[in-house]
A and B are shown apart, each in its own frame.
Chain A
Amino acid sequence: MSRAENQVDGLLGPEEPEVGCDDCFAALDRYVELELAGEDPDAHLPGVRAHLAGCLACREEHESLLALVADERG
């Protein structure tokens, strides 16, 4: 993806309805465990995936939690 396309995505954000940062944080642990269980977390927690697409800070923390818990469970 080119830099211009990245900027367009960043400026327009996700198309779908999304939760805010606080709701994302509240849901993040369950979201990650659903992912690790092979379920579709967005079916249980609508709006989190869209927020993670639009918010770099929350996305980084989601990636870290997923990696940490996956690492711990081997």
Chain B
Amino acid sequence: MGGVLTATLPDVDSVMDPESRAWVAALAGQGGDREAALDRLHALLLRAARFELGRRRGQLAGLSAAERHDLATQAADDAMMGVLARLDDFRGLSRFTTWAYKFALLEAATKARRMAWRDRELPRPPEDWLAMADPDGRPEAAAEHAELLAALRAAVAEVLTPQQREVLLTVVAGRVPLDVLAERRGTTRGALYKTIHDARRKLRAHLAEAGLLAGEEVRPR
């Protein structure tokens, strides 16, 4: 994982569109032009943060309008810091506004997930996490997967480290958002995802060796 993109990124400063170039010049400049650009940037980020919170209305049903406003403002403020700190990273591979929006969406989504879980204990996956009754599934489909499920359950217990097992089950079986688990553990989303990624590779390799993953190559470990 990682490094896959490195070789595919051309140096495209020269193809930056005029509007994006104007954004970068104003934000990197000084004086009144910069102040005006900062105001426009904050408004743009606030719009994106509100868009994200609007998509999560159900998740945030307990918040008042004032609390939602504060959350959007905090997300826009933090996104603005991110945009300015990484302005040199913007190469014009997209429009500047698209590049900036993603900072606000990330901040708003992360804050919303954490807000939704703020007073909740993280659930421990039930003992029968992979054998739970499936009211929506067909009995014959469940039977087809019985061997795979049994092997997967055993592999989770035997092949993974305790840390890998806990993170993977908390996120997949417990449905705890990565950002929430990262906050509780004092780490980052990326670091936790790496743990999940490594655990999944181990499980795949184990099941492939047992001939339980159709079409999967058996990779040396």
Interface residues of A (CB under 8 A from B): 2-5, 7-8, 10-13, 15, 17-23, 25-30, 32-33, 44-48, 54-57, 60-61, 64-65, 67-69, 71-72
Q: What does DSSP make chain B's interface, helix, strand, loop or mixed?
A: helix
Task: State in angstroms the CA–CA spacing of A3 and B1 once bound together.
Answer: 27
* Contact flags B134-154 to A (C-beta < 8 A → 1, else 0): 101110011001001100100
Q: How far is the CB of A34 from the nearest CB of chain B, in Å? A: 9
| Cβ B203 vs Cβ A11 within 8 A | yes
| Inter-chain contacts of B134 with A (CB < 8 A) | 2-4
| Cβ A20 vs Cβ B137 within 8 A | no
CB within 8 A of A20: which of B2, B8, B173?
B2
| Cβ A23 vs Cβ B98 within 8 A | no
Known: A26-B5, A57-B179. A65 touches B193 (CB 8 A): no
Known: A22-B190, A46-B8, A55-B193. A65 touches B98 (CB 8 A): yes
Q: How far is the CB of A30 from the nearest CB of chain B, in Å? A: 4
Known: A23-B4, A25-B106. A12 touches B132 (CB 8 A): no
Known: A2-B136, A4-B130, A57-B189. A13 touches B200 (CB 8 A): yes
| Cβ A3 vs Cβ B156 within 8 A | no
Interface residues of B (CB under 8 A from A): 1-5, 8, 48, 51-52, 55, 89, 93-95, 97-99, 101-102, 105-106, 109-110, 113, 129-130, 132, 134, 136-138, 141-142, 145, 148-149, 152, 156, 168, 171-173, 177-179, 188-190, 193-194, 196-197, 200, 203-204, 207, 213, 216
Task: State in angstroms the CA–CA spacing of A12 and B102 once bound together.
Answer: 28
Interface contacts beyond A2-B142, A67-B55: sample of 13 additional A-B pairs, CB < 8 Å, sorted by A? A2-B141, A7-B129, A7-B173, A12-B213, A29-B93, A29-B94, A33-B98, A46-B4, A46-B5, A47-B5, A57-B178, A57-B179, A65-B101
Q: How far is the CB of B143 from the nearest CB of chain A, in Å? A: 11
| Cβ A11 vs Cβ B5 within 8 A | no
Task: State in angstroms the CA–CA spacing of A29 and B101 once bound together.
Answer: 8
Task: State in angstroms the CA–CA spacing of A27 and B102 once bound together.
Answer: 10
| Cβ B98 vs Cβ A11 within 8 A | no
| Cβ A55 vs Cβ B178 within 8 A | yes
| Cβ A32 vs Cβ B98 within 8 A | yes
| Cβ B137 vs Cβ A3 within 8 A | yes
Q: How far is the CB of A72 from the nearest CB of chain B, in Å? A: 8
